[in-house]
A and B are shown apart, each in its own frame.
Chain A
Amino acid sequence: MGALWKIALRNTARHRRRTVITAIVMTAGIASFIFFDSVMSGMDRMTIDNMESHTVSSLKIRNPAYVDDIAANPLDKGLENPDRALAVLAAKGIPATSRLRFVAAVSNYESQLPLIADAVDPVADRAVFGTADSVSEGSWLGSENAVVIGSELAKEMSLGIGDYVVVSARTVHDTTNAEEFEIIGLATTPSNEINRSGLFMSLEDARRLLDAPFLVTEIDASLPRASSLGLAISRGDATAEELRAQLPGDRVDPISYLAKDYLGMRNFKAKNSYVVIFIVLLIAAVGIVNTILMSVYSRIREIGVLRAYGMTRRDISRLFLLEGLAIGVIGSAAGLAVGCLINIPMAAFGFDLSPFASVMGSLPITGVLRGEWNPGALAFGFLFGVAVSLVSAQIPARKAAGFEPTDALRFE
C-alpha cells in the first residue's frame, strides 16, 4: 500500500495543473456550502433570537386548556397558580415574567382596529423580552392608563406620543368594557407583527379593563443563550421536561414547540444548501473522472509494467482510487479552509440586514446577520467531498484495471 500511495501522491503532484483545477472546483463547492450553511444557520439563529426576545420567549407556561383553545384567547382559561410557576423558575435562576393576552379593539375616535393586546409586568418583562428596549419614541410602560403601540400601527392610525386611544375588550364576565389610554411609547422591533399590530399595557390596567384582578394567561421565561441553535433547542427541551415534573397541571412549551412552524420551514430550507453542494460537487466529480481518466490514458504502459511485475487488477484499481482520494482530500481540505476563512468575518462582524427589513415580510429577520459555526456542516462538507472523489475515481480505476498487460505494454 505504501508504494501505491507513493506513486499516487507523486502523480497527483506531477500533474499539478490538472490536480489544481479539479481541486479548485471542489474547493469552490465545499467553501460555498460551508458559507451558505453558516448564513442560513445565522439567519435561523437571528430569527429564533428575535422570536425569543420579542414574540414567543424561550419557554412558556400556560394552562393546557388555554393552549387547546388558543385561537379564541379565552380569558377563563388563565393559569391557575402563576405564583407557583414563577417561584419554581426563580428557584432555578431562570428570569420570568407574567403576561396576559387578550382580544381588543383600538380606536383613534375615527376608526377602530382589532388586535391582540399584551398586558405585561413593566419591570419583570425587561428580563425576558426586548420590547422595552425597542421603544423608538417615547418611553416604556410605568404609569397608569398608558400604552405602548407598534410604530407602524401608530402611523396607520395617525397617532403619536401623547395622543389618546380607546381600548375596548370583552371582560371575563362577557361584557364589553372600554377605557382611554395615553400613548407613551412607540415600539420598533424586529417583529413586523408587533410593529403593525402590537399594543402593550400594564397588567394592572388590563386586569381592570377585563375585570379580572388576578388573571395571567402565560408565564414567559428567558433561558440563557446557547452557543448554537441545536443546543438551544435541546437545552430548552430538557428544561421544559424538568419543569413539567415540577408543575403538574401546567403546560410547559419550549422553543422547539413555540417556533415549530418556523423550524419546520427551516428544515426544508436547509435542504437547499445540500442541493448547492450536490450540484457543485457533481461538476467536481466530472472533473475528477476526467482528470484521473487522463492520468490513466497517459500511463497505460506504466499500468502494463506494473501488471507484468505481478500487480493484480485490484492493485491497479487501488492505485487510481488513491489518486482520486488524494485529489479529494486536497480539494476538500482547501474547501474547508477557504469556507472557514470566508466565514470568520461573517461570524465575527456579520452583515447588517436593517435596510432590507421592509422586504422580509413577517419573518423577524432584521439587525446584523452573523454566520454560525456548524461543526456538523464542516465535517459533512469535507467527508462528502472525499466520498464524491472516491466514487468518481471508480470509473477510471475500473478502466485502468481492465487493461490486459499485453495490450497495455503495446500501447503507443
Chain B
Amino acid sequence: MADLLLEQVTKVYRKGESEVRALDGVGLSIDKGEYLAIVGPSGSGKTTLLNILGCLDSPTSGKMVYDGRELRGMGEEALSEYRRDRISFVFQSYNLIPVLTVRENVELPLVIERKLGKAESETRADEMIAAVGLSGMENRFPRELSGGQEQRVAIARALVKRPLVVLADEPTANLDSKTAEEIVELMKRINAERGTTFIFSTHDRLVMDHARRVVTIRDGRITSDERK
C-alpha cells in the first residue's frame, strides 16, 4: 500500500471574482523510500502540490490518504499535529533560525514535538549533525556558515525527527554546482541508508538526474510520471 495517495485532488484559489485552478484532478501514489522529483515550469502548480503533500495546505476537493489515514476535512490544529509527527521540510533559502546555534536549529523539531528529553534531543541532534558532516560546528550560528553548510544543517533539521517524508522545495537553487552536487549526494545517501522518502520540487537538472522518479506537472495537471 502506498504511503501517500492523492486521488482527483484539485486546489482552487479565489481572488475576488476570479478563480485560479492551481491543481486540477491530480492523482499520485508515493511509496515509502521513494526519491522523487516534481518538475514543471513556474506557475505549473509544483509548489501547491508540495504544500498539499506537506499538509501545509488542504485540497479544495479530492482524496488524500497519508500513512493510511484520510486527511480531508482535518482541522488546522490537527494538520499541524500530523505535520509535526510525520513530515519535514528543506527550503530553497535554508530558513534556519538565525538566533539559534546549529545544534539548537537541528534540535528544534524535537523540541516542538516534545517527545524526547533534553539530553536525548541533544544526542539525536549531534548524531544528525555528524551524519551531514558538520561535526565540530554544533555551537556556531547560521551567520557563521557557508550556504552549503546552512543547507546541510537544514537537512539535518529535516531528518532529526525521523519523518516519513522530507519535502524539499528547490533545495539546490541557491547553491553553487559543487555544493549542490554534495547536497544531492547527501540526501541520496540518507534516502538509501534510512529509507526516508524524499520529494523534491525542482528546476535543477542535477536533482532530476539523481531522482528515481520524475513527475512533470503543467497547468495543474500531471503530464508525465517516469520511473527510472
Give the B-binding residues of A (Cβ under 8 A): 2-3, 6-7, 10-11, 13-14, 301-302, 304-313, 315, 404-406, 409-410
- With the chains together, A310 CA to B84 CA distance in Å? 4
- With the chains together, A357 CA to B185 CA distance in Å? 87
A selection of 14 A-B contacts at a CB cut-off of 8 Å is: A3-B108, A3-B112, A6-B104, A7-B97, A7-B99, A13-B99, A302-B97, A305-B97, A306-B108, A309-B112, A310-B80, A310-B83, A405-B56, A409-B56
Interfacial chain B residues near A405, Cβ < 8 Å: 56
- With the chains together, A107 CA to B15 CA distance in Å? 96
| Contact A304 B108, beta carbon cutoff 8 Å | no
- With the chains together, A353 CA to B161 CA distance in Å? 71
Partner of A308, one of B54, B97, B100: B54
Q: How many residues on the B side are at the interface (Cβ–Cβ under 8 A)?
A: 27
| Contact A310 B112, beta carbon cutoff 8 Å | yes
B184 within 8 A of A: no
Distance in Å from the Cβ of A314 to the closest Cβ of chain B? 9
Distance in Å from the Cβ of A283 to the closest Cβ of chain B? 28
Give the A-binding residues of B (Cβ under 8 A): 47, 51, 54, 56-57, 76-77, 80-81, 83-85, 88-89, 91, 93, 95, 97-100, 104, 108-109, 111-113
Q: Which residue of A lies closest to B161 (CB)?
A: A309
Partner of A10, one of B51, B93, B99: B99
| Contact B95 A302, beta carbon cutoff 8 Å | yes
| Contact B51 A406, beta carbon cutoff 8 Å | yes
Interfacial chain A residues near B109, Cβ < 8 Å: 309-310
Nearest 6 interchain pairs by C-beta: A310-B84, A10-B99, A3-B111, A305-B95, A405-B56, A309-B109
| Contact A305 B91, beta carbon cutoff 8 Å | yes
Q: Which residue of B lies closest to A314 (CB)?
A: B77
Interfacial chain A residues near B91, Cβ < 8 Å: 305, 409
Q: A307-B80, A309-B88, A405-B56 are in contact. List 16 more A-B contacts (CB 8 A).
A: A2-B111, A14-B99, A301-B95, A302-B95, A302-B97, A305-B89, A306-B97, A307-B56, A308-B56, A309-B83, A309-B89, A309-B108, A310-B84, A311-B80, A312-B80, A409-B91
Partner of B89, one of A7, A308, A311: A308
- With the chains together, A310 CA to B77 CA distance in Å? 9
